[in-house]
Each structure stands twice: as C-alpha cells, then as structure tokens.
Amino acid sequence: MIFVSATTFAQTQKRVKKPKNIILLIGDGTGLSQVSAAQYFKEGAVNYERFPVVGLIKTSSSSDLITDSAAGATAFANGVKTYNGAIGLDKDSLKVKNIVAFTSQKGMNTGIIATSSITHATPACFYAHSKSRNFHEEIASFLPNSEIDFFAGAGLQYFNKRKDGKNLLSDFQKNGFTIDTVALAEKKDKKIGFLLAEKSMPKMVEERGDFLPKATQLAINFLSKDNKNFFLMVEGSQIDWGGHDNDAAYLISELIDFDNTLGTAIDFAEENGETLVIVTADHETGGFTLASNGENYNEIVPSFSTKGHSATMVPVFAFGPGAELFGGIYENTQIFHKILSLLSE
Ligand code: MG
Ligand code: ZN
C-alpha cells in the first residue's frame, strides 16, 4: 500500500509561481553602505524598501578574490565564474550562451540600458563575447547581430568612428533597428536603439536628468507591446565610478537616480502582477562606509577605504512571482541559474 502523508502532498502542490517578465537592475558597485545612503541622503521614499525578499551574493571571480565588472556581469549574464576582464567567456575563454539568447529563444523581447557606453563591461556581457572588456569596438560589433530588441546608453563612437573604418549604424539598419542619437522618444519600429553620447552619459551632477528612469519606462512600454513577455537589464553604471573617484556626492547622486529607476520598475511590476524585479550589484566599490564623525554619532561622514573594489557580499532584492528564490546567501552565478529555472516550463 502506498501511503502519501498530507505534508508531502502539500509540499508537491507548493510550486514557485513563474513570472512572464523579468527586470534585472544592476547598481554597479552598490554595496550595503551605498544602499543605506539612500535612507540618509534621499529626500522622499526609498524604493529599495519596497522589495519583500533580500539575499546576499558572494562575488569573487575565477581569477581573483575581488571581481571586476566584466567577470561580475558574466556571472549574471552567462552563469559562469570567469577571470577579471572577460566578457561572456568562461575561465578557458570559451563562449558561453547568455540570458538574452535564452530568453529570446523563449519568444521574449529583450532590452538593455546603461548610463555608461553600451559596450562597457556590464551591458556587454548580455550580448557580446570578448577576451577583454577593453576591446570596445569588437564588443560593439556583436550588438547589431544580437537578439536585443531595445537598448539605450552611450558609446556612439565605438559604432561610427571605428579604427576599422566600418560604420555599424548601417548594420543596425540592415537588421531592422532604428537608431536615435539625439533623444529618448517613443517609436513604433521593430527594434530600437538609443546611442545618446560619444562615450558615456553625463553624470547626474552634470545634469543627466531623468535618462535612466525614462529609458526604463520607454523600454517597458516597447518590450511589452503586443502582449509579449520580456527580459530587461538596467544598469546604474556610474555608482561604481563615484566609488572609484572616492567622490561621495557623485556616488550618492547616482545611487538616488538608480533608486528612482527601481521605482519605475516596481510600479510597473505591482500593476502588471506577472513581473519579477531583481536588483543587485556586481560588487562593492570604494570600501564605502557611513562613518560617524569621530565621537559625534549624530553626523555621518561618507568615507572610502580604497580606490578600487572590495570583497564584501552585496545585497539582492526581489519582488514579484519567483522572488522567494532570491533570499539567502549564494554565489553571484546563481542569479543566472535562478532566473533560468523560472523560465523553464
Ligand atoms: Mg558597469
Ligand atoms: Zn569598478
């Protein structure tokens, strides 16, 4: 006689609800002190606090205890630990299929947004494969032929002022893209790309304005049209750069802009009900701390301990169907594998 206990039955019934859409937001260089800075320096509500599930990731790369953004993004986009500097390759320099290819093959629309060049290490891992993050022109050549349907960021010079003389803007056109180099705007075309600066988008303190939340809203509208499911990656690229510069005003203004962007994503997810929003970072930058001013515990002095990255774990925040998978402590590569497990039927 087969006996199935009530609890076993209940456990098999308890399946993780699967999302239709996935928005992955990466705050480059955003450790817990950076996130905490929003509480103390942002006027108004902090969107990080709207996420019910929080986890921590271990970020070491295959080559180093402390990762760079290329190995960090390869962990998220390709699901493997690799050496610092590698874009979408494993530790033996072999190409690894990325999450954009996986989601695209499932019939999902895909998009990427960054405040750096779109060829910079973090976004690059979502469509390119290169032995070095420094090969911007090689990385650029992957984008027109990728599965990406929407992108926004900077780096125009790597497409149209290349050492090999090629103009990749015509390759985009051949592959059904409309490219805008002037401003974010709604478009009805099949695929769209915005390349809005030669190298990097301006800093927030240099009046970048609402580019990041606005591009995120535009991407959501574009990618979800005709009831299509989508995968979108959004990077707050310059939080990291404020950390490298040990410039607290730069870092905090970029962090607040990123937090506003989280608001755009989670507002959509709340209304849509079938969207998983995941927020994390590739590593911490600057060894940033919210230190006391000596004995004065009522004054915070944002401080740095390095011009580089640090080895501390970084937080993961999740909202929506499947969010419960993202609690706990795990390796950065698990972000990729958890997302993939939510896509499989
Ligand atoms: Mg980055
Ligand atoms: Zn960095």
Residues 61-92, buried b or exposed e (16+ Cβ, 10 A)? bbbeebbbbbbbbbbbbbbbbbbbbbbbbbee
Q: Which ligand is nearest to the CA of 29?
A: 2
Q: Structurally, what CATH architecture does the domain formed by 35-343 represent?
A: 3-Layer(aba) Sandwich (3.40)
pLDDT exceeds cutoff 50 at 182: yes
The alpha carbon of 134 and the centre of ligand 2 are apart by a number of angstroms equal to: 13
The closest ligand to the CA of 241 turns out to be 2
pLDDT of residue 15: 75
CA of 176 to the centre of ligand 1 (A): 27
pTM for the whole thing?
Answer: 0.95
pLDDT in tens, 9-63: 445 446 789 999 999 999 999 999 999 999 999 999 999 999 999 999 999 999 9
Query: Which of the 8 DSSP states describes residue 95?
Result: B
Residue 1 has pLDDT above 80, yes or no: no
Q: Which residues place a Cβ less than 5 A from the ion ligand 2?
A: 240, 285
Report how far ligand 1's centroid is from the alpha carbon of 225 (Å): 28
Q: What is the pLDDT of residue 188?
A: 86
Please check the confidence at residue 344 and state whether its pLDDT lies above 80. no
pLDDT at 130 over 90: yes
Task: Match 């993961």 to its residue by tokens.
Answer: 316
Mean pLDDT confidence for 162-167 = 96
Query: What's the pLDDT score for residue 8?
Result: 53
Per-residue pLDDT reduced to its tens digit, 226-264: 899 999 999 999 999 999 999 999 999 999 999 999 999
- Of these residues, 69, 117, 146, 200, which one is catalytic? 69
- For residue 329, the CA-to-ligand 2 centroid distance in Å is 23
Cα of 122 from ligand 1 centre, angstroms: 4
Q: pLDDT tens for residues 183-234? A: 999 988 899 999 999 999 999 999 999 999 999 999 999 999 989 999 999 9
How many Å apart are CA 136 and CA 9, to the nearest integer? 54
- 69 is known as an active-site residue: yes
- Ligand nearest to the CA of residue 133, numbered in listed order: 1
Beta strands in 201-274 (DSSP E): 230-236
Residue range 273-330, pLDDT digits in tens: 999 999 999 999 999 999 999 999 999 999 999 999 999 999 999 999 999 999 999 9
3-state secondary structure of 196: coil
Q: Which ligand is nearest to the CA of 123?
A: 1
**134 Cα distance to chain centroid:** 19
> Which phi and psi (to 5°) does residue 285 adopt?
-125, 135
Going from the Cα of 17 to the center of ligand 2, the distance in angstroms, rounded, reads 35
Of the chain, the percentage scoring pLDDT greater than 70 comes to: 95
Radius of gyration from C-alpha coordinates of the chain: 20
Interval between CA 5 and ligand 2 midpoint (Å): 52
| Residue 162 CB-density burial (10 A; 0-12 exposed, 13-18 middle, 19+ buried) | middle
Domain ranges of the chain: 35-343
DSSP run (H or E) holding 301:
strand 296-303
What distance in Å separates the CA atoms of residue 127 and residue 139, rounded to the nearest whole number? 8
